[in-house]
């Protein structure tokens, strides 16, 4: 190594290191410290040690509701989006007239603001004059007029349905990209061997898209832990916290109830869940992901 090369390397990576310490490491340390305080965010905090965490895990019913909803959200959005996105990709990977227009239409919800989507779907779900209610009256299916966002039993599932609608187009786009990478010679050889369409999809196309499956699972889990705008605009976590997610609960505790110390403890738990899930996913799927490329 030439003299001064090490110093030059440090100079080049210094901006990235500075940004990392200022915008990543310092906030993490600060939030850990804040989680040990009883603090409104304005007044002087009082040190309470691990009391916030003890209350969180032993006495906070809403926290466990958010964990349950996160599990619902992960399983009921990731896999339906994958299946629907794959089906649309298979259809639009053929010589369909106007397929580029259809691709744009299906992908459009993924680039629309969650705020706009929430406003639209609140109107659709409205049991008094909403689209579903009017459709139910017109067709005799009066059960469609439900208080989707006001009933604790179904509020979270109504929001999940919107999320699936919003991001299915994104899954479709990734699957289309994956299908473009599959050699036509492989499919032609399978056809010569007498393999029918369903067998080609099940035994050849689906396994060869493993890297897309894993990518969607990883992004889906990350998205689950970051879900805020859609829930906040549609239900604000209600009714009675039935649709609460961890990010919305943190917001409510920090900025509505002014319990910044407790919200910091919830944030730390969210950070640890994200870290643990990332490690598990990398260890379980990492090697497989590399092999599937």
**Can you tell me which residue has the tokens 């999940």?**
160
Cis peptide before 34 (omega within 30 of 0): no
Q: Minimal CA–CA distance to 117: which of 159, 156, 151, 154?
A: 159
% pLDDT > 70, the chain = 95
Chain-centroid distance of CA 253 in Å reads 22
Mean pLDDT calculated for residue range 116-143 = 93
Based on the number of CB atoms within 10 Å of its own CB, is 8 exposed (0-12), middle (13-18) or buried (19 or more)? Answer: exposed
Cα distance between residue 81 and residue 167, in whole Å = 7
Phi-psi region of 96 (alpha: psi -120 to 50; beta: other; left: phi over 0): beta
Residue extents of the structural domains in the chain: 72-244
pLDDT for 239 beyond 90: yes
Express each pLDDT in 241-282 by its tens digit.
999 999 999 999 999 999 999 999 999 999 999 889 888 877
Mean pLDDT calculated for residue range 135-144 = 91
Please tell me the number of Cα atoms within 13 Å of 286 on its side-chain side: 8
pLDDT for 164 beyond 70: yes
Express each pLDDT in 92-113 by its tens digit.
988 888 888 999 999 999 999 9
Chain-centroid distance of CA 35 in Å reads 25
Torsion, Cα of 115, 213, 209, 164 (10° steps): -30
Cα distance between residue 39 and residue 253, in whole Å = 11
Q: Minimal CA–CA distance to 109: which of 160, 162, 73, 148?
A: 162
Based on the number of CB atoms within 10 Å of its own CB, is 240 exposed (0-12), middle (13-18) or buried (19 or more)? Answer: exposed
**What is the predicted pLDDT for the residue at 224?**
94
Instruction: Name the residue with higher pLDDT: 227 or 200.
Output: 227
Mean pLDDT of the chain: 90
Is residue 217 within 8 A of residue 78, CB to CB? The reply is yes
* CATH of region 72-244, choose from 3.40.50.20, 3.30.1330.20, 1.25.40.10, 1.10.3720.10: 1.10.3720.10
């Amino acid at each position: 190594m030439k003299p001064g090369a090490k110093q030059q390397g440090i100079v080049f990576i210094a901006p990235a290191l500075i940004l990392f310490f200022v915008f990543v490491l310092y906030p993490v340390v600060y939030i850990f410290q804040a989680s040990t305080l009883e603090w409104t965010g304005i007044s002087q905090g009082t040190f309470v040690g691990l009391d916030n965490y003890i209350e969180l895990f032993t006495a906070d019913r809403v926290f466990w509701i958010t964990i349950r909803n996160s599990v619902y959200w992960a399983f009921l959005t990731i896999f339906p989006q994958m299946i629907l996105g794959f089906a649309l990709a298979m259809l639009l990977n053929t010589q369909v007239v106007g397929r580029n227009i259809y691709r744009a239409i299906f992908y459009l919800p993924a680039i629309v603001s969650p705020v706009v989507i929430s406003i639209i779907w609140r109107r659709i779900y409205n049991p008094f004059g909403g689209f579903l209610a009017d459709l139910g009256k017109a067709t005799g299916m009066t059960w469609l007029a439900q208080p989707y966002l006001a009933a604790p039993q179904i509020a979270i599932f109504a929001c999940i349905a919107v999320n699936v609608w919003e991001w299915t187009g994104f899954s479709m786009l990734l699957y289309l990209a994956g299908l473009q990478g599959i050699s036509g010679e492989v499919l032609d050889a399978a056809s010569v061997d007498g393999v029918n369409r369903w067998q080609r999809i099940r035994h050849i196309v689906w396994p060869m898209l493993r890297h897309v499956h894993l990518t969607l699972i990883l992004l889906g889990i990350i998205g689950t832990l970051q879900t805020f705008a859609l829930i906040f605009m549609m239900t604000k976590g209600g009714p009675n916290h039935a649709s609460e997610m961890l990010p919305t609960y943190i917001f409510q505790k920090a900025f509505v109830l002014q319990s910044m110390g407790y919200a910091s403890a919830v944030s730390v738990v969210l950070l640890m869940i994200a870290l643990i899930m990332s490690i598990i996913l990398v260890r379980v799927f990492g090697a497989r992901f590399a092999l599937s490329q």
